[in-house]
Amino acid sequence: MQGAFAEHVKALESVGARTRLVRTREDLDGLDGIVLPGGESTTMTMLMERVGLLEPLRRAIDQGLATLATCAGMIVLARDVTDGMAGQQGLALLDIAVRRNGYGRQVDSFEAPLHIEGMDGKTFPGVFIRAPLVERTGDVEVVASYDDHPVAVRQGRILALAFHPELSGDLRLHREFVRMANK
């Protein structure tokens, strides 16, 4: 609907995945996985609601559709958004609370090396752009942290990241998502 989907398409196709854009509820049919990209979370949810995609997407993810959520995608999935707009509705499927733009504004963007659990021991270049800050976790597995705050969490078949792997040039997380989607 909105966001950095083109960069995810390029990364996923680079690791051998077939991709298609999802803009309607019918586009969900037959998917092995879905990416909720970075962008503007309020706009994303309003557009999904307007075209009738919000509830079918919620059901598909709740029923096990593999999901990679980055930055705004993490916000859209979060159970609680501490500074969301009044009436902002998300998917509320991920047991975390986030603060939008918790790491600052666009000018505060940064890159940080991250140690991601289960990866080959090499750091991953975390690209943070107006990133959400995870303030509370519930029944999720924290797979990476930065400054004592979770920045990557896994809950079932959901992998949610506060950063942008599609902008890093490192394809390891996209490979992991494809593996997860093909299980």
105-138 pLDDT, tens digit each: 788 899 999 999 988 889 999 999 999 999 999 9
Residue 23 lies in a domain: no
**Helices (runs of H) and strands (runs of E) counted in the chain:** 5, 10
The angle that helices 172-181 and 5-14 make with each other, rounded to 10 degrees, is: 80
Query: Is 166 among the catalytic positions?
Result: yes
Query: Is 176 among the catalytic positions?
Result: no
Task: Check residue 105 and give its pLDDT.
Answer: 79
Catalytic residue among 8, 71, 174, 176: 71
Query: Is 49 among the catalytic positions?
Result: no
Task: Check residue 40 and give its pLDDT.
Answer: 87
Residue 119 lies in a domain: yes
Number of folded domains in the chain? 1
Kindly report the pTM of this predicted structure: 0.94
Residue-range definition of the domain harbouring residue 97 = 5-15+32-181
Computed on alpha carbons and rounded to an integer, the radius of gyration of the chain in Å comes to: 15
Residue 25 lies in a domain: no
Residue 139 lies in a domain: yes
Catalytic residue among 7, 8, 166, 174: 166
Catalytic residue among 7, 8, 164, 174: 164
CATH number at residue 40: 3.40.50.880
Query: What does the mean pLDDT of the chain come to?
Result: 93
Residue 122 lies in a domain: yes
Return the percentage of the chain with pLDDT > 90, whole number: 78
Strand 124-128 relative to strand 110-114, pairing: antiparallel
Return d(Cα 67, Cα 76) in angstroms, integer: 12
Return d(Cα 145, Cα 136) in angstroms, integer: 13
